[in-house]
Structure 1
């Protein structure tokens, strides 16, 4: 199972800091996350997903069983 870590607004919407999710692609992961946490429906489309530290923008991108996926909403700072 992949470990999904949530940051900022994504963490607030999910209600957890991290969790384990079984998914083999980014698209399947997205569907599983929205199913578990309906509040992510509006948040996830604005987020970047980093799979193993690399941005995954394609729903067909693979997600390994031992992968770490970071869900990063847009943020500003300085």
Structure 2
């Protein structure tokens, strides 16, 4: 199973992009895409940018991630 997370690019230094996963913590990842720039929204998998996405897609993915966390953290009924 592959885990992919949405993120916003906050800085680029060569092949390293620094991204925020929506929690205010900035982490470095490998940038292997040619057209990525600061402010872009991307999908990160295994520490590497795998695709560029729109802001709308980013917000939808963040929403679904929050919903899943809430479901998984709630006690069974």
TM-score normalised over the length of structure 2: 0.26
Q: Rg larger in 1 or in 2?
A: 2
TM-score normalised to structure 1 length: 0.26
Structure with the larger RCO, 1 or 2 (CA within 8 Å, 6+ apart): 1
Return the structure number with greater helix share.
1
Higher strand proportion (structure 1 or 2): 2
